[in-house]
Amino acid sequence: MGGNGMPPVVKVVPVTPSTATAAYRSVLHSWRMSGSSPKKLGIKINLCDYRMPESGATTDPMMLGVLISVIKERFAGVDIFVWENDATSVEAHSLVACLGFLPLFEKHGVKFQSLSETGWVVRTVPAGKVFGELEVPAALEQVDAWINFSKLKTNGITKTTGCLKNNFAFLKTKKKSVFHGDMDKVLVDINKVIRADLNIVDGYIGMEGSGPAFGIPKKCGLLIGGTDPVAVDACCARIMGFWPRFVPYIRSAERA
């Protein structure tokens, strides 16, 4: 998916519950790793509110379960950590309990980590527009690789939600709404210092309208994946009916 001077490639795969395993295998097969297989792997999910997966707002436990199974199939013996963080009106441990994730974690033998509890490390933001430095979760440095597992959604502030926006949750402050006024610049700064090894967007049930939490569910039946988060988000924007160049944070991230 890109590299060697070639433009980045984004894979778009049809997905249904019955074909999910094959779809996730297809996306992971395109992940060309440099070096040995990961022994520890993180997955950043998207739980923005206390909303069930059929709303299109939050990670679907069924789809996450398939992803975990396919990861274990490819990387035998890997330890998997699922991540989410506290935010303005939500608490990570409460979210996974209320939305039914705990049986999934127990079934697959994975560990859930609230990023607010893993410690923090400082990273310098090159040419930062809002931040000169950022405290990022130490969990990022405690795994060999990690996957940004986001949702295909519209967003009332940024027009779209995808991989770049999913990284907003890595901010240390719980009251993340204070950054909504500078959201586009903040997202670019964050993504300069936090970048996943693989980006996957679950569009089986997405969201349109007043996203990212209270829009209208939209069954798109798609799985989108790639190693370049800007390319993945640009592709997702096109799928949702936006020209990527008119989505400010995507345009700015591409230039950065």
Q: With 80 as the cut, is the pLDDT of residue 3 above it? A: no
Q: What is the mean pLDDT of the chain?
A: 94
- For residues 245-249, average pLDDT: 95
Which residues are paired to 93 by β-bridges?
Answer: none
In sequence order, the 6+-apart residues with CB closer than 8 A to the CB of 12 are 222, 223, 224, 235, 239
pTM beyond 0.75: yes
Q: With 70 as the cut, is the pLDDT of residue 5 above it? A: no
Q: What integer pLDDT is reported at residue 179 of this predicted model?
A: 85
Q: What integer pLDDT is reported at residue 4 of this predicted model?
A: 55
- If you search the block for the tokens 């096109």, which residue do you land on? 238
Render pLDDT for 57-98 as a digit per residue (tens, 0 to 9): 999 999 999 999 999 999 999 999 999 999 888 999 999 999
Q: How many other CB atoms are there within 10 angstroms of residue 163's CB atom?
A: 30
Confidence tier at 167 by pLDDT (50, 70, 90): very high
Render pLDDT for 173-227 as a digit per residue (tens, 0 to 9): 988 888 888 999 999 999 999 999 999 999 999 999 988 999 999 999 999 999 9
Q: What are the tokens at 80? A: 């998997």
Helix, coil or strand: residue 123: strand
Contact between residue 57 and residue 153 where contact means Cβ atoms under 8 Å apart: yes
Domains and CATH numbers, the chain: 11-255 (3.40.50)
Contact between residue 236 and residue 160 where contact means Cβ atoms under 8 Å apart: yes
Give me the percent of the chain exceeding a pLDDT of 70: 98
- For 75-138, where are the alpha helices, taking DSSP H only? 92-98, 102-108
The angle at the Cα of 247, spanning 12 to 137, to the nearest 5 degrees, equals 75
